[in-house]
Each structure stands twice: as C-alpha cells, then as structure tokens.
Amino acid sequence: MPERVIAIIPARGGSKGLPRKNVQLLGGRPLIAWTIDAAKACPWVERVLVSTDDDEIAEVAKACGADVPFRRPGELSHDTAATEAVLQHALAWLEAVEGQRYDVVLYLQATDPFRREDIVSRVVKTLLDRPELETVFAGRPDHKNYWTRRDGRYEPLDQRGHPPRQLKPHVFREDTGIACATRAAIIRAGRRIGERVEMIPHTSPGDGIDIHTEFDLWLANVLIAQRHEWPNEPVPERLSRHG
C-alpha cells in the first residue's frame, strides 16, 4: 500500500515577538496561507493539518484549505513547548480520536514562507523513494567560516584555514521549517529527525527571512513589493538547468 503522508503546520496564538504573527498579512494574505499552499501543492500529501490553540488562526487555516480538527492543549502552546511534542500530540490525537494512522509526517513552519515551489515535493518524494532513510529535510548551503566556544576558548569548526570560497566544501544550515519529511515512527518516538537522513539543498531570495518580529515581516513585504519575490515561486530556469 502507498505510504500515507500528512503535513502538520504548528501555529500557536501566543507569539510575543510579533503578536498574532501567523495571521499577519504578507503580500496581502495571512502569513500561514503561504505555507498551507505549499503543503497542498505537494501531490503526495493526503491531508494538511494545522495544530493551533487559537480560534482565529483555526478559522483562517480552514478558509485556506487546511484541517483543524482539534485545539492544541495549553501545555503545548507556550513559548518553550517543543515542536517534537506538538507533532507527536497531533499524530496521537488522530489515531486515538479518528482512527487515522499516517506513515510520513511533513513538517512545515509558517514563519518560513519563502520556499521554491519544488522543495516540498523533492523532500517528500526522496523519503518515499528511499525506504532506508528516516528523514529528509531542506538545507541551505553556506560558505562562511564558523567558530564555536569550547573549554573557555574559541575554535574554528573547520580546521583547514581559509581557502577560497570556490574550493571550500559547503556547510549546510538545517532548514526543517522550509520542509522536513520524517517517518511517523520517529515522530511517535518524540524526535523530529531520525539518524539516517538526506538533505536537499535549497536557495531562494527570501530564505534568510524567518518571520518572528515586526522587522522580519516588514522586510518580507518589502521583498515582495520591491523585488517581486513571492513565496512558493517556481525555480528559475537558470537554476533548474543546473540542478
């Protein structure tokens, strides 16, 4: 039988850095609408579910085509609630109340709206095509030099000095909010990412904008208004030709 894929988008109502951020307007639409669109566009996603504790977010999500079959409990709706617990709760509720059991969970974050339109499908399809993997997620290539502090002193993460950018192997920024597909057994065990993983490199003009403050939202709207860069845009031909 084909594996059943559900997309789960967490969206609590009590955001503090940008109050009501999930329903603030980006490009004239509620912020969460762009991520719901991205999930619905994936041909392997059977259902798009929004996990929220907030009635307004629930109504907006349903108007955008998502399911909101429950209200998230208060103990999973505070600032420090773990995403893993939120995903685990959603699966447990669906199984206990509806008798619905899914094989793959696609996790998307509403605050990361600037995705190329193909990234979600690439992540999901890679996991479905490769049964040996537990998780596939988006990662952004980066060529900067990173340091860490260990035992009271700073050390470079890469010990090979400072070769030219063109010769350096990339490091990758984990972008699970852009797209992360994980086998449901891993989610049920309380983890977001398994041990056997694949990363799908991605870039888009707005992928450095993670909307948590008023400035982030302003910058995202400027990108749309002045550069005409929208969430869920097609991959430019020059990129698709080169992979």
Q: Give the count of domains, the chain.
A: 1
Residue 153 in any domain: the answer is no
Q: Which domain holds residue 40?
A: 5-140+173-235
Residue 55 in any domain: the answer is yes
Residue 39 in any domain: the answer is yes
**Alpha-carbon distance 53 to 71, whole Å?**
5
Q: Of all residues in the chain, what percent are helix, strand and coil, respectively (each to 5)?
A: 30, 25, 45
- The angle subtended at Cα 27 by Cα 139 and Cα 111, nearest 5°, is 35
CA-nearest of 137, 127, 85, 128 to 107 is 137
Residue 29 in any domain: the answer is yes
DSSP structural state of residue 210: -
- The angle subtended at Cα 241 by Cα 221 and Cα 128, nearest 5°, is 80
Residue 148 in any domain: the answer is no
Taking the CA atoms of the chain, what radius of gyration do you get in angstroms?
19
Q: Looking at residue 86, which CATH number applies to its domain?
A: 3.90.550.10
Residue 158 in any domain: the answer is no
**Alpha-carbon distance 200 to 137, whole Å?**
6
pLDDT given for residue 242 in this prediction: 42
* Cβ atoms of residues 61 and 13 within 8 Å: no
Residue 25 in any domain: the answer is yes
Residue 240 in any domain: the answer is no
The one-digit pLDDT tens for each residue of the chain (243 residues) are 799 999 999 999 988 889 999 999 999 999 999 999 999 999 999 999 999 999 999 999 999 999 999 999 999 999 889 999 999 999 999 999 999 999 999 999 999 999 999 999 999 999 999 999 999 999 999 888 888 999 999 998 876 667 676 666 778 999 999 999 999 999 999 999 999 999 999 998 898 899 999 999 999 999 999 999 999 998 775 545 444
